[in-house]
C-alpha cells in the first residue's frame, strides 16, 4: 500500500515492534488485532528498532524513542475510542483499518505484511482519501440501475449467506440473498469505545459498484443499502464522523 501523497508522514511497524513499543509506554494491550509475541520475538524486535534508528539507549537507564514513532504509539495506546473499518471478502479475507481522530489531525492505521502502517494526516479529508486509496476504490465504468435494500444488520446477513445459505434464509428474503451471493465484499465502519462497538456505516461492493447504508438513530441495526459512488461514500463517512464527537 502507498500513500496518496509522498509528503504525508508514515511509519511501518511489525507486530513485534509494535508490541515492544507499546510495552515501553506501559500499555498492556492494544486496541487493534495484534498477534501475541514470544519473548524471543520481542528481543529481535528491539534489535530491529535499534537498527532502524527508532529507539536508542538513553543517557540514563531506559530507551529514547524517535519522536514520530513516539507520537504514533502514544496516540494509539491513549485512544479511549476510535473508528474501525472491517472489510469481509466473499473469499474469507478480512481487512482491518483503524482511524484515530483528534482536533485537526487524524491517524490512519493500515494493514501491511506482518504489521501495521501508521499514516498521520493533516485532517479527516486527507485520511478518507488515504483510506480509499488503500482499498483501491474505483467507480464502475458505466452506470447500471442497481437495487436498494432496507434490511437490519446487512453485513451480518451477507456474511451468513456466504457461509451458511440455509441459515440466511431465516434472516432475509430470497431476492436479497441472491443479490448478496454475487458481492465481492461487505464492510462496516464502527465506533469502538472500550469493549463496545457501534456500527454506523455499512458498505457492499461488486465489480466496482458500491452500496452504502447509514445507521438510523432510534432503529438499532437497520440500514438502507443504496447505490453509491466514491464521492458520495466519502461524504457519508465524513458526515458519520462529524456526528460523533
Where are the chain's structural domains? Answer: 10-134, 149-243
CA neighbours within 13 Å on the CB side: how many for 208? 10
Q: What are phi and psi of 2, to 5 degrees?
A: -125, 165
Beta strands in the chain (DSSP E): 10-14, 55-57, 63-65, 81-89, 94-101, 106-112, 115-121, 149-152, 185-193, 196-206, 209-214, 222-228
157-174: average pLDDT = 95
Confidence check: pLDDT of 195 > 60: yes
Where does 62-164 have alpha helices with state H?
67-78, 124-134, 154-163
Segment among 50-54, 108-112, 145-149 with least mean pLDDT: 145-149
State the Cα–Cα distance between residues 10 and 226, nearest whole angstrom. Answer: 34
| pLDDT tens, residue by residue, 172-186 | 999 999 999 999 999
Q: Which residues pair with 197 in a beta bridge?
A: 192
Confidence check: pLDDT of 2 > 50: no
State the Cα–Cα distance between residues 171 and 165, nearest whole angstrom. Answer: 10
> What is the reported pTM?
0.89
Q: CB-based contacts of 116: which residues, under 8 Å, 6+ apart? A: 12, 13, 15, 18, 32, 109, 110
Confidence check: pLDDT of 156 > 80: yes
State the Cα–Cα distance between residues 82 and 169, nearest whole angstrom. Answer: 34
Give the pLDDT score at 155.
95
Amino acid at each position: 500500500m502507498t500513500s496518496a501523497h509522498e509528503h504525508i508522514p508514515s511509519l511501518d511497524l511489525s507486530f513485534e515492534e509494535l508490541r515492544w513499543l507499546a510495552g515501553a509506554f506501559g500499555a498492556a494491550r492494544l486496541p487493534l488485532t495484534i498477534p501475541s509475541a514470544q519473548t524471543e520475538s520481542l528481543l529481535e524486535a528491539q534489535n530491529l528498532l535499534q537498527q532502524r534508528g527508532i529507539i536508542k539507549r538513553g543517557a540514563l537507564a531506559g530507551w529514547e524513542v524517535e519522536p514520530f514513532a513516539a507520537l504514533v504509539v502514544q496516540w494509539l495506546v491513549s485512544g479511549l475510542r476510535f473508528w474501525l473499518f472491517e472489510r469481509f471478502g466473499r473469499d474469507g479475507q478480512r481487512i482491518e483499518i483503524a482511524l484515530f481522530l483528534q482536533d485537526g489531525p487524524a491517524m490512519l492505521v493500515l494493514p501491511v505484511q506482518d504489521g501495521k502502517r501508521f499514516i498521520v494526516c493533516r485532517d479527516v479529508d486527507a485520511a478518507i482519501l488515504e483510506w480509499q486509496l488503500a482499498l483501491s476504490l474505483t467507480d464502475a465504468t458505466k452506470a447500471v440501475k442497481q437495487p436498494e435494500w432496507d434490511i437490519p444488520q446487512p453485513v451480518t446477513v451477507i456474511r451468513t449467506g456466504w457461509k451458511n445459505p440455509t441459515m440466511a434464509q431465516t434472516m432475509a428474503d430470497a431476492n436479497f440473498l441472491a443479490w448478496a451471493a454475487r458481492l465481492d465484499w461487505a464492510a462496516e465502519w464502527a465506533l469502538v469505545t472500550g469493549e463496545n462497538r457501534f456500527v454506523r456505516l455499512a458498505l457492499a461492493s461488486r465489480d466496482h459498484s458500491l452500496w452504502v447504508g447509514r445507521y438510523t438513530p432510534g432503529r438499532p441495526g437497520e440500514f438502507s443499502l443504496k447505490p453509491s459512488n466514491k464521492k458520495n461514500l466519502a461524504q457519508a463517512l465524513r458526515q458519520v464522523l462529524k456526528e460523533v464527537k
